[in-house]
Amino acid sequence: MNLTVMVGDMKTGAAGDTIVTHALGSCLGLVVYDPVLKIGGLLHAMLPLSSINPEKAQANPAMFVDTGVPLLFRALYEQGALKSRLQVKAAGCGAPMGRNEVFKIGERNYTVLKKLLWKNNILLAAEDVGGSQSRTLHFDLATGEVVVASNGTRKPL
Amino acid sequence: MRLDEITRSVDTLPAMGGAALRVLALIEDAQASAARIEKALREDPGVTANLLRLANSAYFGIPSRIGSLRQAVSLLGLRRVTQMVVAACAAAVLQRPVEGYDLPAGELWRHSLAVSVAAEGLVRELGIGAGEEIFTAALLHDVGKIVLGRFVSEEMARIEAALGRGLTFEEAETAALGVDHAAVGADLLARWALPADIVYAVRWHHDPDRAPASHPMLDVVHVANVLCRMIGIGLGREGLQTEPSETVTRRLGVGTGHLERVASRTLQWANELAQALAA
């Protein structure tokens, strides 16, 4: 099945599925994969901390990095994934050009992700973060392969 | 430079529709009334239908069902209804796919609505005044892309080269085409006789530091536009290749927390408004 993850959304799948998410700007795109069970999931989180809008976080935890990341890992653990096997990759967290500090939402998304992973002893296997280009992620659940497409170029993550 | 060709293209673009022009003329008219808006829309039942679908969107906060133009005016006020007429008329143009910018059908419309919602959200969040027509200025800020898209597509190699030199996308437009989508949009809206502050905000929305004078409506549209692209609404080929002004963020007193709170509320409203007029 071809699954599409919208902004503030999370989906899991298994071999035979592909998961796509479009238009990553400052948002975090997080891919988690268990290569033995060939299951995985993709999160497209918009903002770093749920405390900015607790009501939204309750209705839609995938909107925030601090609630969305645990949501994705829990969903995979419930399907039998083992932490020791998980491959975790991150993309997005971009920023507009220039040095305006007010617009550093992408950097904040990345920082909150790194803190969460660090606290849980999880390392990023790969990342393609920062910059000003829009990114699309293609995640093939049969192989665990992730491709980042940006303005006509495609490269594996 | 393609400037002459672009100007000719603006000349030949059909206006938004007679209904919009007649109602727009009422925006600055103190004598405007529900009866006069009704008269202006009489020959355009499609616009009235779209207007009512928008008016019933939860964003505008009226819990009861609005079934007529008169009811819309009495519940939402003349000004809000006039904004919805403009939106209902602009939808047809803004819903098209936009080549060059890589925006599929509906995406420029969703982006436009998102910037309107984010702009009104910022005004509330910051507790500032930014002019009553901020919704319309935000909604129409990218209308120039409809004209410029074809030229951007044809000159993409030169635009890419300019981007490679570190220019913003709108600077790259000017380098390759002699004009950017903000200037083309302002030109278009001036011909459609939109109020001057709306035209001004559209003209300088990417370059507020070069505008002859500061204007809160311009400042808010500038910030709201960047914010909506950051959260992935209307990113397209431009991505985040734009530079938000530090003068503007200082002048507004806007911080990251304000932006994040507004962003958290914008996506859902924009999607709901876009769906209200979805085919």
**How many helices and strands, by DSSP H and E, does chain A display?**
3, 10
A69 touches chain B (CB under 8 A): no
pLDDT at residue B46 in the model? 84
Interaxial angle between packed helices B69-76 and B78-94, expressed in degrees from 0 to 180 and rounded to the nearest 10: 120
**Residue B239 to residue B2: CA distance in whole angstroms:** 24
B254 touches chain A (CB under 8 A): yes
DSSP structure class, residue A47? B
A129 touches A91 (CB < 8 A): yes
A118 touches A88 (CB < 8 A): no
**Percentage of residues in chain B having pLDDT higher than 90:** 68
Tell me the whole-structure pTM to 2 decimals. 0.95
Residues of A in contact with B249 (CB under 8 A): 100, 102
Residue with tokens 């969040």, as numbered in its chain: B125
CB–CB contact A105 B249 (8 Å): no
Residue with tokens 């209200």, as numbered in its chain: B276
pLDDT at residue B206 in the model? 97
pLDDT band at B16 (very low <50, low <70, confident <90, very high): low
A150 touches A136 (CB < 8 A): yes
Number of CB pairs < 8 Å for A and B?
A: 109
**Residue A55 to residue A36: CA distance in whole angstroms:** 37
- How many residues are recorded in chain A? 157
pLDDT at residue B41 in the model? 81
A100 touches B245 (CB < 8 A): yes
A55 touches chain B (CB under 8 A): no
First vs last Cα of chain A: how many Å apart?
22
Residue B193 pLDDT exceeds 90: no
pLDDT band at B27 (very low <50, low <70, confident <90, very high): low
A136 touches A147 (CB < 8 A): no
Q: Residues of B84-105 as b/e, b for ≥16 C-beta within 10 angstroms?
A: bbbbbbbbbbbbeebbbbbbee
Best residue of A22, A99, A102 to probe chain B, by most B CBs closer than 10 Å: A102
A83 touches A99 (CB < 8 A): no
Here the tokens at position B270 are: 């924009």
Best residue of A97, A105, A108, A137 to probe chain B, by most B CBs closer than 10 Å: A97
Top pLDDT among B43 and B273 is at B273
pLDDT band at B151 (very low <50, low <70, confident <90, very high): very high
Q: Where are the alpha helices (DSSP H) in chain A?
A: 54-59, 65-78, 105-119
Assign A24 to helix, strand or coil. strand
CB–CB contact B231 A63 (8 Å): no
The residues, ordered by sequence, that sit 6+ positions from A119 with a Cβ below 8 Å of its Cβ are none
* Catalytic residue IDs of A: 27
B174 touches B163 (CB < 8 A): no
* B141 alpha carbon, distance to own chain's centre: 4
Interaxial angle between packed helices B196-203 and B216-230, expressed in degrees from 0 to 180 and rounded to the nearest 10: 50
pLDDT per residue as tens digits for the range B102-150: 999 999 999 999 999 999 999 999 999 998 899 999 999 999 999 999 9
The DSSP bridge partners found for residue B40 are none
A91 touches A47 (CB < 8 A): no
Domains of chain A in start order, with CATH, are 2-156 (3.30.1330.200)
Domains of chain B in start order, with CATH, are 3-276 (1.10.3210.10)
A106 touches A93 (CB < 8 A): yes
Residue B18 pLDDT exceeds 70: no
**Residue A148 to residue A117: CA distance in whole angstroms:** 22
pLDDT per residue as tens digits for the range B72-97: 989 998 889 888 988 988 888 899 99
CB–CB contact B231 A96 (8 Å): no
pLDDT tens, chain A, 157 aa long: 999 999 999 999 999 999 999 999 999 999 999 999 999 999 999 999 999 999 999 999 999 999 999 999 999 999 999 999 999 999 999 999 999 999 999 999 999 999 999 999 999 999 999 999 999 999 999 999 999 999 889 999 9
**Which among A23, A95, A103 is the nearest to B235, CB-wise?**
A23
